[in-house]
Structure 1
Amino acid sequence: MAGEDLADNYAQAFAGRLEPGEAPALLLVDMVEAYIQPNSPLYCETAAAAVESAAQLLEAARNAGRPVIFTNVAYEPGGADGGLFYKKVPVLRLFERGSPLGAFPPALTPREGEWLVTKQYPSAFFATGLAERLHEADIDTLVITGFSTSGCVRASALDALQYGFAPFVARDACADRHAEPHEANLFDLQAKYAEVVGFEDARDLINRPFQRSATGSGMKNARTQ
């Protein structure tokens, strides 16, 4: 409606809130060099700051014994396993196997026992078996960071909701090519699909006292590629 404040307009229809569950995990979506290096076509100016924030959340998760899941993207030469997504977004050639732009930065490198989910499509859940493994490990909440906000972060947060994991998107640990799609997608995620939280709230969620075990057999030393 003309003249009506956007937040007030959305509040009339989208006023619900999600509460964190008892067993959160940290999901770092595609936090790789392609978004960090200035000479990359996928470079995001705010990526370095997001990496710094995500690194602190990663340290908190490790110290608290929370499960940690990393995702990356990798394709066979020519994108043979990339389907229509690879055709729609030709810049995905940067993620052909062995590309240095597909590597993790030093501050966000998986350790032994942490999940690495290698995917070919936007969502961390699509054709990866991630939902089944998280359910097996009794995870019910995901703190989500990554690149890019309007792409793989959004797709992963939406699928997290649809698979029954409460998604909490860490605003300061996400980045996009431009502020407008970043903010627009965070706004829409908050309205409909997730809780968008600041750094302190994300860290507090990770540091919440354990309510029950979140280290089922599906989480220990598991790697999906």
Structure 2
Amino acid sequence: MSDDYARRSYGEIGVGFGRKPGIVVVDFMLAFTDPQYPLGGAPLVLRAFENTRKLLEVARRHDVPVATCNTAYMNEREMPYWKITAVRETFRHDHPSAAIDPRIYDPSYDLAVCKKGPSIFFQTGVADYFAKERVDTVIVTGCNTSGCIRATAIDSFSHRYRTIVPEDCVGDIEEQPHRDNLRDIGRRYVDVSDLQTVLAQIEEWRKGNA
């Protein structure tokens, strides 16, 4: 953190882990996880994908609510004004890349939604699901850090959730935007953490509720 931000008290107060966690998995769809597609195969995204799989194995075992999503549209007419050609051409219900990667999705456990904007919370019902589950802490995973992860983290903050973003469970096309956006939201809205710390927090939460 730069001295100027620090002098103005940015990032001084931690968010912390609350009474019950929930996990959101943002856009681990084949468009991003399968290298055959135009947006697929970015190394940071694939790292985040593998780490999130590890997190979800523990989370499901401990009965932590999970909400996952893809982004897809009927046609370009339904879309917002995306500036990304690959999104306009492939983020469609009838395109194979729009499906959630089956390696990370458990249809018998996860709430799955199809979002239309950057945030998993925008007009999807995920917040309603978490309210019923009495979630007060949201762990944000997925891609891309500078876009849908940032938007989701800000919406999570706006919904008054304690928000945790494990750095190694989110990814982006390039490392610099990944680092810059985590630094920025970490100054203001969320605790930037890591997989091992979050796993330990879930274990502690489960012990306390055993």
TM-score by length of 1: 0.84
Match of 2:23 in 1: 26
Matched, 1:174 2:170: yes
Q: Please say if residues 51 and 107 of structure 1, whose CA atoms lie closer than 8 Å, have aligned partners that are also in contact.
A: no
The aligned residue for residue 64 of structure 1 is 62
Measure the CA separation in 2 of the matches of 1:209 and 1:150: 30
- How many correspondences in the alignment? 205
* Cα pair distance change 1:48/1:190, threshold 3 Å: same
Extract unaligned runs of 5+ from structure 1.
1-5, 214-225
Q: Report the alpha carbon displacement of residue 212 of structure 1 after superposing the two structures with TM.
A: 6.2
Corresponding position of 1:50: 48
2:73 to 65, 75, 86: 75
| Whole-angstrom distance in 2 between the partners of 1:124 and 1:101 | 18
Q: Check if 1:205 corresponds to 2:201.
A: yes
Q: Distance in 2 between matches of 1:28 and 1:121?
A: 15
Report whether the alignment pairs 1:108 with 2:108.
no
Distance 2:35 2:80 in 1: 28
How far apart, in 2, do the equivalents of 1:54 and 1:134 lie?
19
Asked if the contact 2:67–2:110 (Cα under 8 Å) also holds between the matched residues in 1, the reply is yes
Identity %: 30
Distance verdict in 2 for CA 1:82–1:59, change over 3 Å: same
**Counterpart for residue 118 of structure 1:** 114
Shift of 1:99: 1.6
Across the aligned residues of Structure 1 and Structure 2, the Cα RMSD in angstroms comes to: 1.8
The answer to whether residue 6 in structure 2 is matched with residue 11 in structure 1 is yes
> What amino acid maps onto 2:141 in structure 1?
T
The runs of at least 4 aligned residues of structure 1 exceeding 6 Å deviation read none
3-state SS of the aligned residue for 1:91? helix
Matched, 1:91 2:89: no
TM-score (norm 2): 0.90
- For residues 111 and 76 of structure 1, the distance between their equivalents in structure 2, rounded to whole angstroms, comes to 22
Evaluate the alpha carbon distance shift between residue 116 and residue 106 of structure 1 in structure 2; reply closer, same or farther with a 3 A threshold.
closer
Q: Provide structure 2 residue ranges, at least 5 long, that are not aligned to the other structure.
A: none
What amino acid is aligned across from residue 74 of structure 2 in structure 1? E
CA contact (8 A) 1:70 1:110 kept: no
